[in-house]
């Protein structure tokens, strides 16, 4: 037994805990616990539908309402060049990826804080919380996509065969969204008041992204830079080109967007892993 008086008041410097971020084993662990992501997403969905009277309709309501607003205002006020496609379809194709992104970042960004009871008490790879939020957002998007089908029927407009390119854009979209969500969730644990700023930033983001308008608003010489800064822009543009216009994606724009997305995800994952030891202490 050591008496308290002879005890050091600080740990010896050479024993300080050093964090080693090992990405591959970390990813493997998340993969092993993929069932947990599903269960957590299921929990959030079940809880939401138990509490909400309108249930499934909520998933569809947000993009639908915005679509109607945009259609009513933008179509009348500003003449947007849709390349001949109905404006409702044009803007809805922008709203789908945007809503997925904004819900993911908003919900996933707060996921470590809202799940602090679990972060504090149960061990699991912490990535599951933002991932589960994204899964919920994905379900919403899927439901909202059913409405897209309905819109095609109503407008009598047929999707073009070039729609087979859609998965390429989808990969870029998910990569970018995941990267931003990871960074947001990790940083939010330490900067709590960011929680209140986040909705405002996302609100502005909606207008910095070609949702209501098309890529042609941006001067041609800035489009590459714009795509690199906001990968959602070439993604949305790609969806419109392939589904509505029968064109292949604009690779000169999608390429930089994909590079940014990949770099952002890699950076975000490292940030997340580096901040992870503090989550339980502060969440």
Partner 1 sequence: MRDGEIRATGVWKRFRADRQRQLLRDQLDRMKRRLAGRSNAHGYRWALRDVGMAVGPGESIGLIGPNGSGKTTMLRLLAKVMYPYAGRVAVGGRVGALIDVRAGIHPDLTGAENVYLYGSLLGVSRREVARKFDEIVAFGELETAIDRQVKFYSSGMHVRLGFAIAAFTEPDVLLVDEVLAVGDAAFQQKCLDRMRAVLAQGTTVVFVSHDLQAVESICERAVWLRDGVVESDGPVRDVLGDYRRTVEQAAEILTPAFGLVRVVKSEIRGPGGDTPVSQQPLEVKLLLESPEPIWASMSIGVSEGPATPIFLLGHEAMLPAGQTELRCSIPFLPLPRGRFYLWFGIIESTRDLVPWHPVGQFEVLGPELTPTPRGILRMAPVQVTPTWEVEER
> By the criterion CB under 8 A, which residues form the site for partner 1?
1-2, 4, 7-9, 11-12, 15-17, 19, 33, 35-36, 39-40, 42-43, 46-47, 50-51, 117-124, 189-194, 277, 280-282
Q: How many CB atoms lie within 10 A of CB 240?
A: 24
Provide the 8-state DSSP code for 55.
T
**Least separation in angstroms between CB 28 and partner 1:** 14
Q: Which is nearer to partner 1, 58 or 282 (CB)?
A: 282
Q: Which is nearer to partner 1, 7 or 79 (CB)?
A: 7
Q: Which is nearer to partner 1, 45 or 56 (CB)?
A: 45
Rounded alpha-carbon distances, angstroms, from residue 272 to 30, 97, 140, 190, 275: 13, 24, 25, 12, 5
DSSP labels, 191-208: -TTHHHHHHHHHHHHHHH
Q: Which is nearer to partner 1, 191 or 200 (CB)?
A: 191
**Least separation in angstroms between CB 185 and partner 1:** 14
**Least separation in angstroms between CB 45 and partner 1:** 11
| C-alpha–C-alpha distance, residues 57 and 49, integer Å | 10
Structure tokens at 217: 């608003």
**Least separation in angstroms between CB 26 and partner 1:** 13
**Least separation in angstroms between CB 183 and partner 1:** 16
Q: Which is nearer to partner 1, 19 or 164 (CB)?
A: 19
Q: Are 232 and 98 in contact (CB under 8 A)?
A: yes
| C-alpha–C-alpha distance, residues 270 and 183, integer Å | 9
Contacts of 10 (CB under 8 A, 6+ apart): none
Nearest CA-CA partner of 173 in 106, 227, 248, 110: 227
**Least separation in angstroms between CB 131 and partner 1:** 13
Q: Are 181 and 274 in contact (CB under 8 A)?
A: no
Q: Which is nearer to partner 1, 46 or 252 (CB)?
A: 46
């Amino acid at each position: 037994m050591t008496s308290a008086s002879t005890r050091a008041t600080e740990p010896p410097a050479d024993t300080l805990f050093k964090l080693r971020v090992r990405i591959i084993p970390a990813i493997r662990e998340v993969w092993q616990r993929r069932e947990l992501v599903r269960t957590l997403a299921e929990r959030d969905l079940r809880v939401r539908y138990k509490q909400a009277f309108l249930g499934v309709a909520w998933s569809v309501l947000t993009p639908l309402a915005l679509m109607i607003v945009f259609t009513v205002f933008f179509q009348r006020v500003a003449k947007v060049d849709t390349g001949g496609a109905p404006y409702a379809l044009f803007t809805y194709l922008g709203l789908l990826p945007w809503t997925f992104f904004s819900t993911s970042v908003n919900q996933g960004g707060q996921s470590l804080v809202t799940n602090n009871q679990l972060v504090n008490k149960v061990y699991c790879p912490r990535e599951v919380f933002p991932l589960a939020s994204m899964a919920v957002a994905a379900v919403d998007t899927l439901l909202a996509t059913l409405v897209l089908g309905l819109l095609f029927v109503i407008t009598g407009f047929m999707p073009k065969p070039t729609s087979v390119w859609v998965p390429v854009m989808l990969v870029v979209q998910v990569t970018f969204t995941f990267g931003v969500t990871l960074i947001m969730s990790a940083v939010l644990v330490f900067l709590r008041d960011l929680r209140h700023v986040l909705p405002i930033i996302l609100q502005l983001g909606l207008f910095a992204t070609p949702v209501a308008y098309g890529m042609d608003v941006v001067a041609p010489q800035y489009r590459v830079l714009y795509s690199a800064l906001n990968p959602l822009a070439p993604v949305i543009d790609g969806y419109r080109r392939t589904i509505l216009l029968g064109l292949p994606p604009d690779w000169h724009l999608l390429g930089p967007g994909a590079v940014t997305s990949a770099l952002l995800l890699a950076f975000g994952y490292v940030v997340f892993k580096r901040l992870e030891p503090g989550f339980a202490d502060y969440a």
